[in-house]
Structure 1
Amino acid sequence: MEGRQLQQVLNPQRLKALQEWMQKSSITLTQVNGQRKYGGPPPGWQGPVPGPGCEVFISQIPRDVYEDRLIPLFQSVGIIYEFRLMMNFSGQNRGFAYAKYGDPVTASTAVMTLHHYRLPDGGCLTVRKSTEKRQLRLGDLPTNINQVKLLTLLRMVSDGVEDVMLKMAGPKGREVVALVNYSSHYAASMAKKVLMQAFKKHCGISITVKWTSFSKSKHVSETEQEDGTSTPPGLNPFPKPSISPPHLHPQPFLHNVPAHPPLQSSFSAVGGPAGPPRDEMKPQGPVNCDTVSLLQWMCEVHRLGTPQYEIRYHHASSDGFLCFSYEVLIPCFLIPLYGVIQILPGPSAQATKEEVYRAVAELVIQTICKVSSLRPF
C-alpha cells in the first residue's frame, strides 16, 4: 500500500518529463543537502556573482512539479544565475524554491509578473523577494572565547564566512554571542546545518545557531520561517524595529541612534544629485570614488561590517520617474536603514541600476552622520 502511495506521489510521468527535459536542454541539476540546484553560476554566465536583492522565494509549489516547469517559467523573466528546489528524501519537492537573478530589478520584475501565477495543471504560485538572510547568531559560547580563533574555526568548518563580531547579550548582559556574516544566503543556510555538530566535534561544547532577527514579522508558516521570505510587492513602509539597549553596542557613537531611523526620500536623475548637493559630501578618504565605494570605505575604517543592500522596484510614476524602496543593513547598527527613492531611467538597465545604488548609498551616509557622531571623512 505504501509503495503504491509513494508511486502516486512521485508521479512517474512527471519524473519522465523531467529526465527528458534535462537531456534535451543539457541542464545539470546537483543534489546538495536537501535541495536540488541549477547554476550558481550556470554555463556561459558572464559578470559578477549577484549581490543582495537578486533572489526571489517561490512557495505553494505542487509536490509533483519540478524544474522542467519551474526553470523555463522563471527564465522567461530574465537570465537565472541559480535555481534551488528544496527536496525530500522521498523525491518530492518540499513546496518551495529560490531563483536568483543577475540584478534586483529583474528579481522585482519576477515578483510582479509571477506572483499568483496559476500553473496549467493546477496550483497558484506565491513569489516574493527573499530576505536573503546572511547573518547567523551563535549563542551559549564560552565567556573567554577569542574572536580570532573563532573566525578561524568558522572558516574551517563552513564556507563563505566574511566576518564575525562578539557582543554581550542576555537579561544581564553576561551572555556572549557571535554574529557571523556570510557571503550569501545559501552559504549561511549550509552553515546553519553543520555548525552545532562542528562545535561539538572540534570544541566539545554545545552552542545554539539561529538566524539573526532584525525586525518582528507577521506570522508565516514553519517552512517559511526556517528559510526566510519577505512580504509581497507593494509600496508599504518597512517595519520600524526598536533598537537594542545601549550597553549591547560595541561602539560608543551608536548610543545616539534613535529608536526609529528617519524615512529618507530622494528625487534623482541619472548623473544628478540625490538629496543635498554632492559638494556637501566631498570625500577625503578614497579618491575618485562614487558613494557606494565611499560607504564601503567608511564601514571598513570604522569596523561597522559590510553594508547589505535590498532594493525593490515598485512602479514608474506619471512624470517618468522610477520608484524604488531600499533597506540597507550595516551589521553594527543591528537594524536596517530604509526609505524610498525616485530616479529617472538611464540609457541602459546597468546605468539605472548603478545610479540607484549610488543614490541609496548617499542617503545612508547622510543618515549615519545625522544619527551618530561618526563623520565620513
Structure 2
Amino acid sequence: MEGRQLQQVLNTQRLKSLQEWMQESSITLTQVNGQRKYGGPPPGWQGPVPGPGCEVFISQIPRDVYEDRLIPLFQSIGTIYEFRLMMNFSGQNRGFAYAKYGDPLTASTAVMTLHHYRLPEGGCLTVRKSTEKRQLRLGDLPTSINQLELLTVLRMLSDGVEEVLLKMAGPKGREVVALVNYSSHYAASMAKKVLAQAFKKHYGISITVKWTSFSKSKHVSETGQEDGTFTPPGLSPLPKPSITPPHLHPKPSLQDVPAHPPLQSFFRAVGSPAGLPRDEMKPQGPVNRDAVSLLQWMCEVNRLGTPRYEVRFHHASSDGFLCFSYEVLIPCFLIPLYGVIQILPGPSVQATKEEVYRAVAELVIQTICKVSNARPF
C-alpha cells in the first residue's frame, strides 16, 4: 500500500530521466541533510572559491522537476560552481534550490535571463540573488560562558565557524547570547540543524539556535523564502566575515562529534571545576594541529584577529613545481606578510589548494615566531 502511494506521489518517468542523464553526463549528486548537491567544486574547477554575490536563489520549482532539467538550464548562463536542490524524504524536491557561479556578474545574468522562465514541464521559475545568510543566534547560554571556549567548541561541532561575539540581551540585559558568523550559508544551515542537539547530548546544556533575521521574514530552509542578515536591537553587529582558507577536513556528522568528551566536557558544562583556575582550563592548542588551524589558534589566543589569505598562482617551473605568491593580512599587524612559495601539484585541484594554504600558514607562523621570539605551541 505504501509503495503504491509513493508511486502516485513520484513521477517515475521523471526519475528515470534523471538517472539516464546522470549516467550520460557522468554527473555525481550527493545527498546531504535534506539537500542534493552537485559540485562545490565540480570536477576540473580551476578558479578560487566564489565569494559573496555569486549565488542565486531559485524558487517555484515544480516538485517533480530535478537536476537533469535545472542544471543544464542554469549552466547555459555560465559554469556552475555548485548547485543545491532541497529535497523531501519522499524523493520530491521542496520547490527551491541554489546555483552558485564563479563571479557576481554571471549570477546577475542568470537572474536577468531566467527570472520568470517558463519550464516546458509547466511552472514559472523565480530567480533572484541569494542573500546567503551566514549568522546564527545562540540563546539561553550559561552566564559563565567564555568567548574563546565557545569558539573552540563550536568549531568542534560545526564546520565554517569564523567569529563569535557574546552579548547581554533580554528585557533586563541578563540573557547571554552569541552571534556566530559562518563562512557560507550552507555551513550555517548545517550548523543550525545539529547545534542544539549536540550541546544537549555532549554537555547537558539546552540552548536555542535561530537565524539572525528580521522578525517578519521566514527562514528559507523551512519555507522556501529568503531574507537578509540583521543584528537584533541592543546587540552590536559582528565584524564583516573575513576571507578564510578552506577547511581541510570533512565536517563530522552529529554521531561522530566528538569521539571523546571535548575540552573536559566543555569545562563541566561551562562551570569552573573546584580548585582549577580558569587559565588552566583554556585549550592548549587546536585539536588538529595542521598549520592553518594552528595559525588561526595563535591569532585568537593573542587577540591578533582572523588571518586573511590572498594567494595567486604565478607560474609552473621546469622541474614541476608550482609557484605562488601570497599575502596574509593579520588585522593587528600594520602591513601584510607576503612572499613566494613552491609546491608540487597534488592529486587534485582541491588537494593542491589545501597544500598551498598549509605551506603559506607554516611560513607565516615561522615569521611570527621569529619576530616575537615565541613558540607556536
Distance 1:170 1:134 in 2: 23
Q: Write the deviation string for residues 28-53 of structure 1: whole angstroms up to 9, x where unpaired.
A: 00000111000000001111111111
Letter in 1 for 2:136: L
Q: Identify the residue that residue 44 of structure 2 maps to in structure 1.
A: 44
Give the TM-score, by structure 2 length.
0.60
Per the alignment, residue 351 of structure 1 pairs with: none
Deviation (angstroms), 1:152 = 0.8
Aligned with 2:128: secondary structure? strand
Provide the rounded CA distance (Å) in 2 between the counterparts of 1:144 and 1:226: 36
1:148 and 2:173 are equivalent in the alignment: no
Question: Does the CA-based 8 Å contact 1:128-1:230 persist in structure 2?
Answer: no
Change in Cα spacing, 1:131 to 1:227, as seen in structure 2 (3 Å) is farther
In structure 1, the partner of 2:226 is: 229
Matched length: 246
Give, in whole Å, the separation in 2 of the partners of 1:121 and 1:169: 50
Any gaps of 5 or more consecutive residues in structure 1?
232-238, 252-299, 308-377
Residue 157 of structure 1 corresponds to which residue in structure 2?
Answer: 157
Q: 1:249 Cα deviation (Å)? A: 3.9
- Report if the CA contact (8 A) 1:111-1:129 is conserved: yes
Match of 2:207 in 1: 207
Aligned partner of 2:174 in structure 1 is 174
Matched, 1:244 2:233: yes
Cα 1:225–1:35 shift into 2, 3 Å: closer
**Whole-angstrom CA distance in 2 between matches of 1:304 and 1:227:** 36
Matched AA of 1:47: G
State the superposition RMSD in angstroms: 2.9
Q: Which residue of 1 aligns with 2:90?
A: 90
Q: Match for residue 17 of structure 2?
A: 17
Residues 177 and 25 (structure 1 numbering): CA distance in 2 closer, same or farther, change over 3 Å? same
CA 1:250/1:32 → structure 2, altered by over 3 Å: closer, same or farther? closer
* 1:154 counterpart SS class: helix
Q: Aligned equivalents of 2:181 and 2:204: distance in 1?
A: 23
> Letter of the aligned partner of 1:28 in structure 2?
T
Distance (whole Å) between structure 1 residues aligned to residue 224 and residue 176 of structure 2 = 25
What is the aligned-residue identity percentage? 81
CA distance in 1, matches of 2:307, 2:209: 21
Cα offsets for 1:242-267 (capped at 9, x unmatched):
9834xx4499xxxxxxxxxxxxxxxx
Q: SS of the counterpart of 2:141?
A: coil
Higher relative contact order (CA 8 A, sep 6+): 1
TM-aligned CA distance change 1:88 to 1:185, over 3 Å: same
Structure 2 unaligned spans of 5+? 239-299, 309-377
Residue 173 of structure 1: CA displacement?
A: 1.1
For the Cα contact (< 8 Å) 2:140–2:175, is it kept in 1?
A: yes
d(CA) in 2 for partners of 1:242 and 1:163? 14
Question: Once the 2 structures are TM-superposed, how far is the Cα of residue 98 of structure 1 from its aligned partner?
Answer: 0.7
Q: Deviation of residue 154 (structure 1)?
A: 0.3
Q: Which amino acid aligns with 1:106?
A: T
**Equivalent pair of 1:134/1:182 in contact (CA under 8 Å):** yes
Question: Do the aligned partners of residues 190 and 243 (structure 1) sit closer, same or farther apart at CA in structure 2, a change above 3 Å counting?
Answer: closer
Does the 8 Å contact 2:212/2:232 carry over to 1? no
Contact 2:30 2:38 in 1 (8 A): yes
